Amino acid sequence: MTQEQRRPTLVDVAHAAGVSRALVSIVMRGAPGASESTRQRVLEAAGELGYRPDARARLLRSNRTRLLGLTFSTSQPFHSEIVDAVYAQASAKGYDVALSAVGRGRAEERAVESLLDAGSEALILIASTLNENDLGRYAHQVPVVSLLRNDVGDHVDSVSCDDAAGIRLAIEHLTSLGHRRIIHVDGGTAVSADQRRAAFRAEMIGHGLEPLTLSGGPSEEDGLAAGQRLLALNPSAVIAFNDRTALGVMESLRSAGRNVPTDVSVVGYDDSQFARLSYIQLTSISQDAQLLAAAAVNRAVDRIENRQPLGHDVSTPHLVRRATTAAAPVSRA
Amino acid sequence: MTQEQRRPTLVDVAHAAGVSRALVSIVMRGAPGASESTRQRVLEAAGELGYRPDARARLLRSNRTRLLGLTFSTSQPFHSEIVDAVYAQASAKGYDVALSAVGRGRAEERAVESLLDAGSEALILIASTLNENDLGRYAHQVPVVSLLRNDVGDHVDSVSCDDAAGIRLAIEHLTSLGHRRIIHVDGGTAVSADQRRAAFRAEMIGHGLEPLTLSGGPSEEDGLAAGQRLLALNPSAVIAFNDRTALGVMESLRSAGRNVPTDVSVVGYDDSQFARLSYIQLTSISQDAQLLAAAAVNRAVDRIENRQPLGHDVSTPHLVRRATTAAAPVSRA
DNA sequence: TTCAATTGCTAGATCGTTCTAGATTGCTCC
DNA sequence: GGAGCAATCTAGAACGATCTAGCAATTGAA
């Protein structure tokens, strides 16, 4: 049972193929310097022995791991989508991904250090809450790319989606439907919440509308709580901090007997899997996980390989119209 | 900008403290064989230089990484809860966790191999879909613990929750409320779906009731689709494969004008964060992520350290009664 | 024919640790 | 005062890969 047998090494393969260690090494990493015939012979021997290069020895010597470190939060479904997309893009670029979760009882510092220990050549941090000092310290060791947050100082790359543009899209969509009394249920202290709140205020004022804001947060419960304070403000539309917040707001509206979208329109943010559920059909601002992930991986890899200079990508979100927004009710428009 | 300076090594610390490499090594891993005074001196020097042992070199030599490999699915929120709990328990046992996600476009084999490359000393696979052959092959290299699935053959440990007991609890809860026409919306081809379906059938028959089953799946959409076929069967209660399925079923009921729980009671499975949302309050079978995670980590660590024999833990689920179950309507009871 | 360049391969050093075996010191005990 | 022993420390060989330098054989050009 579970006969722990030593895994084969370069030496074993070399012996089996009748060549030197160095040649096997050359063949295994596809480097030039071996004839086609021996290359075949070596690969065959390796295959037969089930040889797989030892990552730690390899990187100890070469200082290359082809590993991208990625942190994410277990409680944000949108992060999960990014994780999937990062895997795909990294794999396309020939990199592997080391994952580390940030959650209750596991601080981001801890997550990051475990990624560094694993030998990550760059870090991609999703919605990091580290301060500039800490970021700078890590950036001192490897390239760091901040994803979904762009106020990160001068030592860290960032890839984010234009929050102001997203809020603007939402407001334009709603005003074009005749809404004028629009409320923003904000993200409280969450990453990006400040930007979206500020953008909402500026844009509403630009439209000559009152920038009504309720403090919320990134979860359903936050939306639910805000929803209970919502009706007193008599809104015809709500822009929520994210999809989860929107779900909470909608539930609150529903339990108060208001219909979405005939009484109140709701716009979410993230276009996460929730928004797409057939019975929710939430109109939402899409940040396109695929695109963001690809940009982050590309930045990380560019920094690692080409010594590309540090920079900040800002992509433009778009609005996905579904079933939770409609023309403003005549009485309130 | 990002002055990539070489990270300090044992040699640097040894030099700074005026001792040999070996002694620094002894101090760093807390091994006996150094006097208290030099221990202090070395630690001080290490601290000043910001020295952190190089994990790869360490494990290359020692064949110890103190790393547990963990796979999970990005799309199952219950897995996220387990991930959090595994981190906590592993940390308590002095181990770190290497995470690898299984998702669209990332096969479980790929995830597992990346964990092995990272040097995992054991693997914990959440709801693995690997066949016994593959499992055996991996178990040949390191201890493997299957979590949430127990039909895994003789070479793999397992930690699972008694599916039959869970279904029994749900049925007993419902029958005690007077329900007799209970439908199981199953998990289709998902892990554990077979066990739960079989348990449902056996237990219902044991109660002298008809074991009505609809084919479903592990997501909201599956529950929604099943929900549409549900009403024709005129049930007074539904036991869903998991919480996400239950959400879909409830939505379907709601859109058909049925009230939960006055018209139809619904029981979920997993007691995930959804079930606990204040506006959902789903009665659910709890598998206790904390407990499962702790058991899995303990098994893995026991196998690694004490060469404990392989075994299978089966924990007992419990029912968390919330707001989606009530007495059967008189007309249909 | 001879010399240089190219191709195909290998020996040995090296990465940063841990481990084994042995050296050095200081102490106790007879 | 020397044997015996524990405590403290160190030198040097691992671990499994990559990398550098160089050796042999072949090719091409003069």
- CATH code of the domain containing B203: 3.40.50.2300
A144: how many CB neighbours lie within 10 A of its CB? 28
pLDDT computed for residue B224 by the predictor: 95
Q: Is B278 on the interface with A (CB under 8 A)?
A: yes
Contact A73, A80 (CB under 8 A): no
Q: Do both A156 and A174 map to the same domain?
A: no
B294 confidence band (pLDDT: 50, 70, 90): very high
Mean pLDDT score across all residues of chain B: 92
**Mean pLDDT, rounded, of chain A:** 92
Pair (B326, B193) in one structural domain: yes
**Cα(B103)–Cα(B80) distance, rounded to whole angstroms?**
13
What is the pLDDT, as a whole number, of residue A273?
87
**E strands within chain A?**
67-73, 96-102, 122-126, 144-147, 157-161, 182-185, 212-214, 237-240, 265-270, 283-286, 312-315, 318-320
Question: Percent of chain B beyond pLDDT 70?
Answer: 97
CA A221 to C1' C18, in angstroms, rounded, equals: 52
Domain extent for A264: 163-287
Please determine, for residue A14, whether its predicted confidence score (pLDDT) is greater than 70: yes
Cis peptide before A53 (omega within 30 of 0): no
pLDDT score at B333: 40
Per the CB < 8 Å rule, is B140 touching A87?
no
pLDDT at position B198: 97
A179 in a structural domain:
yes
Contacts of B114 in chain A (CB under 8 A): 96-97
Q: Are A121 and A68 in contact (CB under 8 A)?
A: yes
Strand partners, A80: none
Question: Does pLDDT of A292 surpass 90?
Answer: yes
Residues 6 or more apart whose CB falls under 8 angstroms from that of A91 comprise B106
**Looking at residue A231, what DSSP letter applies?**
G
> Looking at the domain assignment, is residue A32 inside a domain?
yes
Are A293 and A197 contacting, i.e. CB atoms less than 8 angstroms apart?
A: no
pLDDT band, very low/low/confident/very high, at B330 (cuts 50, 70, 90): confident
Virtual CA dihedral for A32, A34, A36, A42, nearest 10 degrees? -120
A268: which strand partners?
A284
> At residue B176, does pLDDT exceed 50?
yes
Least confident window among A50-54, A70-74, A87-91, B21-25: A50-54
For residues B279 and B168, state if they share a domain.
yes
Q: Distance between CA atoms of B210 and B24, rounded to whole angstroms?
A: 71
Closest CA to A197 of A164, A237, A155: A164
pLDDT exceeds 60 at position A174: yes
Share above pLDDT 70 across residues of chain A, in percent, rounded to a whole number: 97
Average pLDDT over residues A281-302: 96
Q: How far apart, in whole angstroms, are the C-alpha atoms of residue A4 and residue B139?
A: 9
Residues B152 and B250 in one domain: no
Residues B189 and B90 in one domain: no
Residues A167 and A146 in one domain: no
Structure tokens at B59: 């494990």
Mean pLDDT of B99-124: 90
CATH number for the domain harbouring residue B14:
1.10.260.40
Whether residue A64 lies within 8 A of chain B, CB to CB, comes out as: no
Do B20 and B109 fall within a single domain? Answer: no
Tell me the CA–C1' distance in angstroms for A33 and C10.
Answer: 12
- Best of A62, A70, A82, A99 to disrupt the B interface (most B CBs within 10 Å) is A99
A281 and A262 both lie in a single domain: yes
Rg (chain B; Cα; Å): 25
Asked if the structure places residue A329 within a domain, the reply is: no
Beta bridge mates, A102:
A73
Identify whether B3 is part of a domain. no
pLDDT classification of B332: cutoffs 50, 70, 90: very low
Q: Which two tokens stand for residue A267?
A: 């716009």
Percent of chain B past pLDDT 90, that is, above it, reads: 78
Q: How many domains does chain A have?
A: 3
pLDDT the model gives residue A94 = 86
Residues B213, B230: contact at Cβ < 8 Å? no
Assess whether A23 (CB) lies less than 7 A from strand C.
Answer: yes
Positive or negative torsion for Cα B244, B247, B252, B255: negative
Pairwise CA distance, residues A18 & A46, whole Å? 12
Average pLDDT over residues A240-266: 95
Residues A121 and A148 in one domain: yes
